[in-house]
Structure 1
Amino acid sequence: MAAENGVITITDEVPCLVSPARMFRAIFVDNHTLIPQIMPHAVNHVDLHSSDGGVGNVKHVTGVEGASMGDMKLKMDEIDMENLTCKYTVSDCNAYGDMVDFLVSECKFVTNNFHPEGDAKMDEEEIKAGREKAMEIYDFVHAYLANNPDVFANNT
């Protein structure tokens, strides 16, 4: 964990037994259909605010009341289907309470930059707790794809 100008940066490596292309599609491209299906205890629904789900698209996630995930907005800033990379911004997220204004994530599952709300100070335990909530989605998708090898097997 590193901090510069109040922005906290975390780099993570997460092992995966299913193909990167399938995980990328499940988590970043078609999450609006898959996540509510495999995580009904945490996510009620995901509203897609454009037809293609590409750059500039905003997805509004509505969490189950009382679940740790909560509501949030996800805006796709960049997406490269060939290299399986993307950058997105999470805002209006109550997973960190009032301490984070927004989170920008660059994914190859590598870097997360936390932009604190005002003068809020986050310690490593708070960031770890938030990461664990995010990893819950990853773990559910990973398990689902491992047990359903035909889902997203076609990269189109």
Structure 2
Amino acid sequence: MICDLKYIYIYIDNQICRGKLINSNLYKYTNTTSSPVPIQERAMVVFTYADEFTSPVSPARLFKALILDARNLIPKIIPSVVTSIEIVEGDGLSAGSIRKINFVEGSEVKCVKNLVEEVDEENFIYRYSMIEGEALILEKVGKISYEVKFEERAEGGSLNKMTSIYYTKGDVVLSQEEITAGKGKALAIYKIVEGYLLQNPHAYAN
């Protein structure tokens, strides 16, 4: 979390800025302006969380299964959770594409829409933002961005990193439960796909 008692980090004009508390109503953003900015004009508070997981599966296979062919594989192996993954705009892989993940009837969340920002097939990096879904979270945030990176391990397998950036509305602070709920779903899907790849060593091997 990039926040402490003396400073607050916010998102203004496409820049992450550090603000120093002057009094209960004013923050001074030393890296954007020399004039104090009224607290009500603050756009967003930024919180960053990072997780790392190791896997015996190679980065290339995980990237192909979880990112490149997700729309086909995930509904196939987890039909009790995900009914389909639709490409709403674009081709699903290029920047600006929108993927819609539809969950089974009765799920807490009916669907989630993700905006693709980058798919780097050479370095196994996927960047995207959630733009619809998880209603309780999106009531409090203006945007949630994710970066998923799959890296080779010297001893084999992969080191997989996921960074989540929450741009909250105003002074909203997200609870640990709200953060872990969304990450828990993603991790569950990740582990199921990993298990599938371990049981099918030839899948996505080429």
TM-score by length of 2: 0.67
Which entry has the higher C-alpha Rg, 1 or 2? Answer: 2
Provide runs of 4+ in structure 1 moved above 4 Å: none
Specify which structure has the bigger relative contact order, considering alpha-carbon pairs within 8 angstroms and separated by 6 or more residues. 1
Report Cα offsets for 1:87-137 as digits up to 9, x if no partner.
Answer: 111110226443333311112123110122555431122212221111111
Contact 2:93 2:119 in 1 (8 A): no
Give the match's secondary structure for 1:112.
Answer: strand
Unaligned runs of at least 5 residues, structure 2: 4-8, 11-44, 150-160
- Counterpart residue type for residue 139 of structure 1: K
- Name 2:82's counterpart in structure 1: 43
TM-score by length of 1: 0.86
Report Cα offsets for 1:40-97 as digits up to 9, x if no partner.
Answer: 1111111123346322221111111222454111121112111111211111022644
Provide the C-alpha distance between the structure 2 equivalents of 1:17 and 1:62, rounded to a whole number of angstroms: 29
- Name 1:111's counterpart in structure 2: 163
- Name 2:53's counterpart in structure 1: 14
Question: Quick check: which one's strand share is greater?
Answer: 2
Provide the C-alpha distance between the structure 1 equivalents of 2:96 and 2:134, rounded to a whole number of angstroms: 22
RMSD (Å) for aligned C-alpha atoms: 2.0
Say if 1:106 and 1:143 are closer, same or farther in 2 by CA, change over 3 A: same
Quote the sequence identity (%).
34
- Name 2:104's counterpart in structure 1: 64
- Counterpart residue type for residue 80 of structure 1: D
1:128 aligns with 2:167: no
* 2:205 aligned residue (147, 153, 156): 153
Unaligned runs of at least 5 residues, structure 1: none
